[in-house]
C-alpha cells in the first residue's frame, strides 16, 4: 500500500502540476474555438490543478500520519471523483475520453488508499 501511495502522490503531482502549468501559461492551447469563457475556464482550472498538485508538497513529510492522509486522500478522492463526473458529462460535447479515464483511475486509487490508510500510517 505504501508503494501505491507514493506512486499515486507522485502521479498526481506530475499530472495535475503539468496540466495546471500548461493551462495557466497557455490556456488558448486547450480551447479550440478561442472563446473568452473557455479561456477563462481553462485558466481557472489550471490554477485549481496547480493547487491540488501542491497538496503533495505540503503533506509529503507526513505521509505516515493517519489524520494527514485522511485529509489529503479525502481531498484528492473528491477532486478526482468530481472531475470524473464532470468530464464524463462533457464527453458528448468534447468527444475526448482521456480526461475521464485518467481522473477515474486516480479517483479509484485515491479511494482505495483512503479506506486502507491504516495499513501504513503509524500515528
Residue-wise pLDDT tens digits, 50-83: 999 999 999 999 999 999 999 999 999 999 999 9
C-alpha span between 69 and 115 (Å, rounded):
10
106 CA to centre of own chain: 7
pLDDT in tens, 7-51: 999 999 999 999 999 999 999 988 888 899 999 999 999 999 999
**pLDDT tens per residue across span 83-123:** 999 999 988 887 889 999 999 999 999 999 999 999 999 87
CB neighbours of residue 99 within 10 Å = 17
Amino acid at each position: 500500500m505504501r508503494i501505491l501511495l507514493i506512486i499515486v502522490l507522485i502521479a498526481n503531482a506530475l499530472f495535475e502540476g503539468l496540466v495546471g502549468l500548461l493551462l495557466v501559461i497557455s490556456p488558448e492551447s486547450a480551447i479550440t474555438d478561442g472563446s473568452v469563457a473557455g479561456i477563462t475556464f481553462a485558466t481557472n482550472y489550471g490554477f485549481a490543478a496547480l493547487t491540488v498538485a501542491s497538496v503533495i508538497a505540503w503533506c509529503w513529510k507526513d505521509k505516515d500520519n493517519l489524520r494527514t492522509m485522511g485529509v489529503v486522500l479525502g481531498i484528492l478522492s473528491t477532486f478526482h471523483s468530481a472531475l470524473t463526473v464532470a468530464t464524463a458529462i462533457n464527453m458528448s460535447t468534447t468527444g475526448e475520453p482521456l480526461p475521464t479515464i485518467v481522473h477515474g483511475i486516480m479517483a479509484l486509487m485515491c479511494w482505495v488508499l483512503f479506506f486502507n490508510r491504516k495499513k501504513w500510517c503509524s500515528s
